[in-house]
Structure 1
Amino acid sequence: MNKFMQKFVIANAIGLVASIGVVAFADDQPAQATPPASAGQMSASQLDQVIAGTWRSEKNKARDTYRHPKEMLKFFGIRPDMTVIEIWPSGGWFTEILAPFLNANGQYIGAVPPGSKSTVALQNKFKFAPQQYSKAKLVEFDNKAPNLGPDGSADMVLTFRNVHNWAADGSAEAMFKAMYRVLKPGGVLGVEDHRASKGKTLDQVVNTGYLPTEYVIKLATDAGFKLDGQSEINANPKDNHDHPKGVWTLPPTYELGEQDKAKYAAIGESDRMTLRFVKPAAK
């Protein structure tokens, strides 16, 4: 189990957490993304306003140059009237954008491990800016037997840098099936994760945090999804995928501490795949 996974203790229980009424490095020169034809429309100006929101921490804003939130969410086709489930939001980097964007006309649901530090962090975030998070909800789930909510209840499911954890602990297949079940027919699954070098197998890289793109696509299509688009928004050609402590060598983790920190800062955050899947409409 990798160091990131050790932060989460997954209990064998499924339940709901009551929502609390409202809660520089060098660029990696991302490629421009062209959303698939089925991506739909969204309010770019609304997204700009949320990304610039004063409730977002300066530390999180500093990572926008790596994480490309506007470009990625446009690629996935998010709209402010959607019900969106974010899987394992951790400290809430994307929650600071998603929940306020959906607060007026949609619904944000964060799916978290039972009793995790993530739950406390998100609840504190909701308290800090009640106007932006008044409708935000959390749901607890066991990733070994996941239940993310009623079948067909979500318009979109998003997971950022989590599939490598599920691959490491053997829960990846169950998670993709659960994400498929909770989505409405025609619903979208958006996946971002660290991308392994071409030709690498899962066994070769599973402990590094990187994953073969083909492996992630197969997980999704085996669960019933259709691949609807791939983007180079999060590509980083400076990342050669070969580091002493895997992806955690790079920012923001810096697993080696001060050792060669300038070198890894110059590389920036990891090279990542960005994939959009669709649950086929009912016939």
Structure 2
Amino acid sequence: MSMSSFKMNVYLIKVIILWLLFSLTFKVEAESEETIKASISHSQRLKTDFIKDEYRKPQEILTFFDISPESTVLDIFAGSGYYSEILSRVVGPKGKVIIHNDAHFLKYYGKDLSERLKEGERLSNTTRIDISLNCLELKENSVDTILLVLGYHDFYYVMENAEKINVTTVLAKFKKFLKPNGIVGIIDHEAKSGAPRDTGHTLHRIDPQIVKSEMTKAGFSFDGELNVLRNTTDDKSKKIWNVLNGSTSRFVYRFRNN
């Protein structure tokens, strides 16, 4: 075989390998999207959850965060479990969803979450952890994805006689929990550009640049954003409670652990 023929064969092999990798990736992504779609339309979801789908857009969100079967997802400040239930069905019996809340969230959402789970009778691949975020501990490199939906601003919400969240410590925990190249998906109510951190307490909003700055400082790389929840008519000087449900402008950021 001549040298030119050998080089041509090597080139063709590389092309075939790249094509196979591309085809496999496309197939996996398509299957994940279909799984997410089926999980959202599942007949056993709560009627109140279906109503929220219109302004939460879970299909677009979970696809963007690369949620796939057999993965382990940590749902931080999960509240009543709207996303936890969808995630449970997406990851399937070989996957796992860790549902986290602290005392503040349990005060408002604990009863609804208990009713959703029915003391373990529903969503058997979930684990519920009720603990301060500062004290949360999981095995190193055990989580594929961390979701923090409408909760980053609560890092700066100060409750009377309650322990403040140590943001540096918590983000270091996230990095420890995540597998290499794992994802942190963050959604939150958008504050005005340049708004201080305590806007998380006063308006329950946060400047997206604060999130991006703190996450990158903690060692995560910014991996893109999704604009499906943006609302240019939102008055960012108002508390979120003064805005119609689902009408706040929310940013959607994806970060990688690399």
Which range, TM-score by smaller chain? Answer: 0.7 to 0.9
Counting only pairs closer than 5 Å after superposition, residues 249-264 of structure 1 correspond to structure 2 as 249-252=242-245
Larger Rg: 2
- 1:205 Cα shift? 6.1
Question: What's the CA shift string for 1:220-248, capped at 9, x where partnerless?
Answer: 112211111111121112212122xx011
CA distance in 2, matches of 1:198, 1:137: 37
Tell me the residue number matched to 1:106: 95
Runs of at least 5 residues in structure 2 that lack an aligned partner in the other structure: 1-24, 159-163
Contact 1:111 1:148 in 2 (8 A): no
Structure 1 vs Structure 2: percent identity of aligned residues?
A: 24
CA distance in 2, matches of 1:279, 1:152: 10
Contact 2:71 2:91 in 1 (8 A): yes
Aligned residues: 223
Contact 1:82 1:102 in 2 (8 A): yes
TM-score (norm 1): 0.72
Q: Does 1:208 align with 2:186?
A: no
Question: What's the CA shift string for 1:124-165, capped at 9, x where partnerless?
Answer: 2122894x612211123322x232411211011101001111
Contact 1:235 1:273 in 2 (8 A): yes
| CA RMSD after TM alignment | 2.3
Tell me the residue number matched to 1:137: 127
- 1:210 Cα shift? 1.3
Identify which of 105, 109, 112 aligns with 1:121: 112
* Structure with the higher fraction of residues in helix conformation: 2
CA distance in 2, matches of 1:203, 1:138: 29
Counting only pairs closer than 5 Å after superposition, residues 90-105 of structure 1 correspond to structure 2 as 90-105=79-94
Tell me the residue number matched to 2:21: none
Tell me the residue number matched to 1:85: 74
Contact 2:138 2:177 in 1 (8 A): yes
The secondary structure found in structure 2 opposite 1:152 is: coil
TM-score (norm 2): 0.78
The secondary structure found in structure 2 opposite 1:71 is: helix
Tell me the residue number matched to 1:157: 146
The secondary structure found in structure 1 opposite 2:157 is: helix
- 1:274 Cα shift? 0.5
Identify which of 247, 253, 256 aligns with 1:275: 253
Contact 2:184 2:255 in 1 (8 A): yes
Aligned partner letter, 2:145: M
Counting only pairs closer than 5 Å after superposition, residues 36-75 of structure 1 correspond to structure 2 as 41=29, 42-75=31-64
Contact 1:146 1:178 in 2 (8 A): no
CA distance in 1, matches of 2:197, 2:116: 36
Tell me the residue number matched to 2:65: 76
